[in-house]
Amino acid sequence: MNRIIMHVDMDAFFVSVEVAEKPYLRGKPVAVTGSLTTRSVIATASYEARKRGVHSAMPLFTAKKLCKNLIVIEARHDKYVAISRKLVAIYNSFCPAVESFSIDEAFLDLTYTVKDEREAVMLAKKIKALIKNKFNLPLTVGISYNKLLAKLASKLGKPDGLFVINERNRDRVMDGLSVEKISGIGEKTARLLREKFHVNTIRDLKKVPLMELYAVFHSYALFLHNAAFGKDSTPVIPDYEKPQEKSVGNSMTFPFDTSSWDYIKRAFKYLAEKVAMRLRMRGLFASTVVILIRYADFRTISKRKKVFATNSTDAIYFEAISLFKTVYNGRKVRLVGISVTNLSEGVPLSLFETNDRSLKIDEALDKVKLKFGDRIADYASLIDFEKKQV
């Protein structure tokens, strides 16, 4: 029995969320970035901006050179997460087997939900219409008999489309495509395929014997060979069956290299608040705090420490600063980061690390930010810091 797999991919998700709230942005080149400093990178760009060469992971200063009238918006991560959860809830209302692939993508195993491909297409149209009506967000749906081809189908259906790959049209659809269209084949792999085997298209890749691929790509060769023929047995793993999240973290690249102790402390406070809020929103507690420091010469070091299980902003900040003091050499810093690991659920806060007052402050800030956005309220020490980021 062939599986029926649906891949749902929100179109330019972060930008689309902003456009839905600010309709005057529609049809304009828009990009969402981690911060408004020129040293930031593009998180996602509207299709109008993409036509001018702007793409994800591009440095902001490069994007502005390519697109002089680019409208840049600072990311509101908590807003996007909140909408993403609501989208997943919609998918689950139609199908019990939903795997969140990223904040804006999901796989649905419809094998036991619909009778055939025709019903799957009808269901896809219902989901698209519901999300359009409820959130005014565009999305593309790909349908096939495995995850690899369902994801390829959604790529081919963009933007705001619906595309089906089945056994009847598979070769006709795939053969002429560049190998980079296959998820899992990046620029480096594609370059090696061209250099070693003169492979440009999926049709070319089919012609390369498996053992020759092994000589260059080793264990990865089997994936390349199977992908060329549209083979993939990877199951859809529902979110409730996934192993628990292993870490939560945030980092920040400064707008300028600095050795200012006050500035660095404010950055750590800002990051601690972000990380702690993400823990609280997931009902998680962390038992290890890790810091990352990248100096102006790009030398990077990290340091970790085990702590009492916590999701307190103050506790994470205190440990991060303590770790920083043990390794900092006085040189100018380019980037700092905080991550937490050894996560668990339902562990009480240590009395040593926090108190009722600080916990209530954390929870109050969480509620305000979830309602009005994560920039509406913050610790007084961060207000000046955020102004310096603009």
Whole-angstrom distance, CA of residue 63 vs CA of residue 44: 11
Structural contact between residues 257 and 264, judged by C-beta atoms closer than 8 angstroms: no
Q: Which two tokens stand for residue 294?
A: 């990248």
Output 219-223 pairs: Cβ under 8 A, ≥24 positions apart: 220/189, 223/184
Structural contact between residues 243 and 280, judged by C-beta atoms closer than 8 angstroms: no
Q: Which two tokens stand for residue 77?
A: 């991560």
Question: Within 13 Å and on the Cβ side, how many CA atoms surround 116?
Answer: 1
Whole-angstrom distance, CA of residue 163 vs CA of residue 176: 17
Pair type for strands 42-45 and 98-102 = unpaired
Which sign does the torsion angle of CA 42, 43, 48, 52 carry?
Answer: positive
Question: Which of 185, 135, 170 is closest to 13 using CA atoms?
Answer: 135
Is residue 48 flagged as an active site residue?
no
Whole-angstrom distance, CA of residue 105 vs CA of residue 110: 16
Cis peptide preceding 159, ω within 30 of 0: yes
- Exactly one of 105, 117, 180, 386 is catalytic; name it: 105
Q: Which two tokens stand for residue 119?
A: 């019903």
Residues 6+ apart with CB under 8 A from 80: 13, 14, 17, 103, 104
**H or E element: which one contains 9?**
strand 5-10
- Please spell the DSSP secondary structure of 140-160, one letter per residue: EEEEESSHHHHHHHHHHH-SS
Active site residues: 105
